[in-house]
Chain A
Amino acid sequence: MKNTKSLLALLLIITTFIVNTLGAQTKYIDKKGNLTFEASEELFEPVKATNASVTVILNTETNDIASLALIKSFRFKNSLMEEHFNENYIESETYPKATFKGKLLDFNFSDLTENITEVIVDGKIELRGKEKQIRTTLNTKKSNDSIIIQGSFTVTPADFDIEIPSIVKNKIAKEIVVTLDFKLTKK
C-alpha cells in the first residue's frame, strides 16, 4: 500500500515535470527588443526615440503575442526633448508603460523558414489608459533557434489623447511611424 502511494507520488511529480517543460517550450521571449518611433517633419529637428529593452513574449502554440515598453527607456538624442516627452506628452510618472496584446493570424511556427514570411498581427496597444486597435503586416523568419519579427505601423497623438501645443504643432508629424525589431529565443 505504502509502495503504491509513493509510486503514485513519483508518477505525479514526473508528469508535472513533463507538462511544465512541454508548456515552457512553446514560449519565445525577447527581453531586449528594439522599438523606435519617429514623428519628424522636414527642415525641423528629428523627433525620434528608441527603446532597446522592450519585452516580447510569443506563445507559438496559441500565437498569442504580448509586448511591453517602459516609457522611461525611450532615448532621444536631444535630452530636453526626452524631458518634454516624459513630462508633458506621455506623463510617464502616471503612465510608465506602453503595452501590446494581440495574436499572430495564420501563423504556423513549424512552417517558419530562414526566408521572410509575412504575418498579420492584430491586437490592442494600451498607452496613457487609452486603447488603440492595431492591425499590421510583420516580416517573420527563423534565424538559428530564434524568431525574428520586424515591421512597422502608424499611430497618431490623438489616438492616446496626447495634445500637441500649437507652438510646436508644425514640428511634430501628424502620423507617428513606429518600427519594431524583435529577436525571440526559446525559454
Chain B
Amino acid sequence: MKRNKIIILTLIILVFVVGGLVYNYTFNTKHRNISVEEATVSMSAENLYNHFYNNEKLATTKYLDKVIEIEGKITSVENNEIILNDKIQVSFNIDKMPKVAEQILLTIKGRCVGYDELLEVVKIDQATVINKQN
C-alpha cells in the first residue's frame, strides 16, 4: 500500500517536471545571439556580393542564416545601418550601432539574410563591429 503511494507520487512529480520542461522549451527558447556566435566564414564585401550576384541559389544555400565576418569600406551611414562597398547592407541592433564615418575600413560580423535584387545588395543583420581601422 505504501509502495503504491510512493509510485503514484513519483509519477505525478515526473509529469509536472516534463510538462514544465516542454512548456519552457516551447515558449521560452531564446533567440540566437549572433554577437557571441563564431563566424563560419570570413571574406571581403566584394567577394560576398559576387557570390550572390553570380549564383544566388548556391550562395543562399551556403550563406543564408550563417554568421559571416565581412571586411569592406564604408560607403554610407544612416540610422542603424552601414553600407560596405555599396554592396553589403549591414543592420545593427540599435544599441550596437557604432560611431563610424564614411570611407573607413571596417570589419563586422553578422547574420546573412539574403540578396535584395531591387537594391542590388546582400543584407546582413544583427551585426557587431569586430575592429576599426583608419
Binding site for B on A (CB under 8 A): 29, 31-32, 45, 53, 55, 57, 66-68, 70-73, 78-80, 82, 86, 92-93, 96-97
In the bound complex, how far is the Cα of B52 from the Cα of A97, in angstroms? 14
In the bound complex, how far is the Cα of B42 from the Cα of A64, in angstroms? 38
Report if B117 contacts A (CB, 8 A): yes
Q: List 25 A-B contacts (CB under 8 A).
A: A29-B119, A31-B89, A31-B119, A32-B79, A32-B81, A53-B89, A55-B116, A55-B119, A66-B118, A68-B116, A68-B117, A68-B118, A70-B113, A70-B114, A71-B114, A72-B65, A73-B113, A73-B125, A78-B26, A78-B27, A79-B32, A80-B27, A80-B29, A92-B64, A97-B114
A102 to chain B minimum Cβ distance, whole angstroms, is 13
Q: Residues 110-127 of chain B: 1 if any A CB is under 8 Å from the residue's CB, otherwise 0?
A: 010111111100010100
Query: Nearest 8 CB-CB pairs, A to B?
Result: A72-B113, A70-B114, A96-B114, A79-B31, A70-B113, A55-B118, A68-B118, A79-B29
- Please state if B26 and A70 are interface contacts (CB–CB under 8 Å): no
Q: What residue of chain B has the Cβ atom nearest to residue A86's Cβ?
A: B65
Q: What residue of chain A has the Cβ atom nearest to residue B119's Cβ?
A: A55
In the bound complex, how far is the Cα of B26 from the Cα of A93, in angstroms? 23
Binding site for A on B (CB under 8 A): 25-27, 29-32, 60-61, 64-65, 79, 81, 89, 91, 111, 113-119, 123, 125
- Please state if B61 and A93 are interface contacts (CB–CB under 8 Å): yes
- Please state if B27 and A45 are interface contacts (CB–CB under 8 Å): yes
On chain B, the residues within 8 Å of A53 by CB distance are 89, 91, 113, 123, 125
In the bound complex, how far is the Cα of B64 from the Cα of A4, in angstroms? 55
Q: What residue of chain B has the Cβ atom nearest to residue A52's Cβ?
A: B91
On chain A, the residues within 8 Å of B89 by CB distance are 31, 53
- Please state if A73 and B123 are interface contacts (CB–CB under 8 Å): yes
B91 to chain A minimum Cβ distance, whole angstroms, is 6
In the bound complex, how far is the Cα of B29 from the Cα of A78, in angstroms? 7
On chain B, the residues within 8 Å of A68 by CB distance are 116-118
On chain A, the residues within 8 Å of B61 by CB distance are 93
